[in-house]
Chains A and B, each alone.
Chain A
Amino acid sequence: MVQAQAVRQLSYIQAVNEAIRQEMERDETVIVMGEDIAGGGDREDKQDAWGGPMRLTKGLVGDFGRQRIRDTPISEAGFVGAGVGAAASGLRPVVDLMYVSFFGVCADQITNNAAKIHYMFGGKVNIPLTIMTGIGAGTGSAAQHSETLYSIFTHFPGLKCVVPSDPYTAKGLMIAAIRDNDPVIVFNNRQLMGIRFDVDVPEEAYEVEIGKSNIAKEGTDVTLVGIGYTTKVCLDAAAELEAQGHSAEVLDLLSLSPMDDEAILESVQKTRKIVIVDEDYPRCSIASDISALVAEQAFDYLDAPPRRVNPPHAPVPYSRPLEALWVPNKDTVVEAALGVLE
């Protein structure tokens, strides 16, 4: 297949960075808080020494200053909670929670305050807060730095959850999250930050609509649902299946809450088979949720039971060969797809 080169290639990291920059330029109530998002403290000659955990915020302090780019102490309960308060009172904060596993430190602020204030206060107070957080295994970082955990947040009414899959969606979803009047959590998979994508990232600001999925590849025989990094895994698997004579459709979920139920059902009505590939733990997962959706609402269309591909019900191991077994990969997806294709 000959593909045209993307017109404007950015890395995932550059795409997120550009999204934040453009929103900060557009709206002066946007501020960013987090650990080492600039770095160097108040040393004038050392500004921007770090630029964020994955360099997502590199360069912003030079343009927007310390008033709006705020390096915090390592106090997640404090600064995530402060993000809620700032959002309730006129700012549009972006808070960086370095790795999602640290949400435990500040869970109360997210689940009891950010998620519930709008409802509990009768819809009279908005929390336009964006939390961005790093997820994903495959980097040798062991059990406390490798989780995805997005299903936990999806569980809570009041929170919106999005998982970009490439630089284009990373930019568009970040902008949409910042502009949204509800709290939105953006889950950025770290493996995607090290991959070169041949996708066009327009220079002007744009939104990828929260709540909408995208058909990343059309097909007729089986639907593969991907979330973030697993969308890439699904695309690789689809290519392999294609070579074996099976046409797989890849649905890039992008948004977990709200979720694009309609697109999932539509695709499965066409292909009659579905494999959901999810990097989160298997119990109470997004894969389980979609599996239930399809079983309830598209049962009559199904030629095979819905199939879930998740990691096992175990924490992420450190040792490289074990970690490789833990993360869903092309082979496990192909195997699952062949299973439903018979």
Chain B
Amino acid sequence: MTTHSTMNKDTLLWMYSTMVTIRRFEEQSRREADAGKLRGMHSSIGQEAVPTGISAHLRDNDFVLGTHRSHHHCIAKGVDINEMMAELLGKATGTNSGKGGTMHIADINKGMLGANGVVGSNIPVATGVGLSAKVRGTDQVSVVFFGDGASSQGVLHESMNLASIWKLPVLFVCENNRYAESTPFEFTVAGGSISNRAAGYDIPGVSVDGQSVLEMFEVGGEAVARARRGDGPTLIEAQTYRYHGHFGADDPLGYRSEEEQEYYMDRDCIKQLTAHIIENGFAGEDDLQSLDEKALAAIAEAVRFADESPFPDDADLMTDVYNTYA
């Protein structure tokens, strides 16, 4: 993946394609789950702009670490969707050889150092990745995504402090999608702001409209540049929204209102970017439609690839527990 760090037509169309691919991938994953081919997954629909705006600035050898809800992080970082779909179906050709599944997708060649099912668990790991870049003297950056719920884990606070005193190239990116399972974030986050907490650790804390990929792009660009310069970490709180239930089975209207859903869905990230591209003449509706069709074709190919792939061999149960073990 080449970076798209200059805002131009190419970058806009890359962001558009990326977000549409994520959405179509998630819609298909849901269908696969409904068909019983995987047992549930955390949909990222609604949150596509957050990793897309940031990953535009990242190279293959920069690192991204995710959460239980990470399909969008993976796709934005350039992970192959055939291998992702195969992983969801538990196939040997999957990113993780079928051993990890939806909550653990990783692809080291693309700098995707893994989704993680334990809330908050990846935050210090990403801090260590930043430490590694610094000690090795590269200008790589480490980006960790986590939820509003995860912001209440102690490790976030320990990690922000570490990254600040050691001036590590880390982006702490909170996707505040308003809920942790059914719990509204105001109920558990004292003071009502996550970005404000950066002040206590003497690092920049930015709140940004996570439904606007253009704003995500701008804020992400500054934070990545700051990290590459060696000036240290940034905490970004992206205000976003998950459109579906937490895990798929729950009805979100059990804990939130239709008006609230409409408010966010009206400001959908793909809709907004489409309008921006068309209104400013970067591309026409036909161009976007052909990108849509390409995304759909790619998803169809991913399903075909996954379906036709074999399950792991029984012997694979015991491989990769260690490198050597005698």
Binding site for B on A (CB under 8 A): 35-36, 39-43, 46, 49-50, 71-78, 101-102, 104-105, 139-145, 312-315, 317-322, 325-326
**Across-interface contacts of A72 in B (CB, < 8 A):** 188
B294 within 8 A of A: no
B90 within 8 A of A: yes
B149 touches A74 (CB 8 A): yes
Quote the shortest CB–CB distance from B33 to chain A (angstroms). Answer: 10
Quote the shortest CB–CB distance from A135 to chain B (angstroms). Answer: 15
A74 touches B152 (CB 8 A): yes
9 contacts between A and B (CB under 8 A): A43-B184, A72-B188, A101-B118, A140-B101, A318-B90, A318-B96, A320-B90, A322-B90, A325-B314
What are the interface flags for B237-260 relative to A under an 8 Å C-beta threshold, 1 for contact and 0 otherwise?
Answer: 000000000000010001110000
B138 within 8 A of A: no
B6 within 8 A of A: no
**Across-interface contacts of A35 in B (CB, < 8 A):** 180-181, 183
In the complex formed, the residue of A with least CB distance to B149 is A74
**Across-interface contacts of A75 in B (CB, < 8 A):** 152-154
We find that the number of chain B residues with CB closer than 8 angstroms to chain A is: 46
Quote the shortest CB–CB distance from A76 to chain B (angstroms). Answer: 8
A78 touches B118 (CB 8 A): no
CB under 8 Å from chain A, chain B span 96-127: 96, 98-104, 116-121
In the complex formed, the residue of B with least CB distance to A39 is B182
B104 touches A142 (CB 8 A): yes
**Across-interface contacts of B96 in A (CB, < 8 A):** 318
Chain B interface helix/strand/loop/mixed:
loop
In the complex formed, the residue of B with least CB distance to A40 is B255
In the complex formed, the residue of A with least CB distance to B184 is A41
Binding site for A on B (CB under 8 A): 38-40, 87, 90-92, 96, 98-104, 116-121, 149-150, 152-154, 180-184, 186-189, 250, 254-256, 311-312, 314, 316-318, 321
**Across-interface contacts of B188 in A (CB, < 8 A):** 41, 71-74
Quote the shortest CB–CB distance from B87 to chain A (angstroms). Answer: 8
The answer for the CA separation of A144 and B312 in the assembled complex, in Å, is 20
B317 touches A317 (CB 8 A): yes
Q: A39-B183, A49-B254 are in contact. List 15 more A-B contacts (CB 8 A).
A: A74-B119, A74-B120, A74-B150, A74-B153, A75-B152, A76-B153, A78-B152, A140-B40, A144-B116, A317-B312, A318-B90, A318-B102, A319-B90, A322-B98, A322-B316
Quote the shortest CB–CB distance from A216 to chain B (angstroms). Answer: 29
**Across-interface contacts of B312 in A (CB, < 8 A):** 317, 319, 321-322
A317 touches B99 (CB 8 A): yes
Contact of A73 among B39, B91, B189, B256 (CB under 8 A): B189
The answer for the CA separation of A314 and B320 in the assembled complex, in Å, is 9
**Across-interface contacts of B119 in A (CB, < 8 A):** 74, 102
Contacts A144-B103, A322-B98 given; does A105 touch B317 at CB 8 Å: no
The answer for the CA separation of A49 and B182 in the assembled complex, in Å, is 7
The answer for the CA separation of A304 and B96 in the assembled complex, in Å, is 42
**Across-interface contacts of B318 in A (CB, < 8 A):** 312, 314
B104 touches A143 (CB 8 A): yes
The answer for the CA separation of A319 and B99 in the assembled complex, in Å, is 6
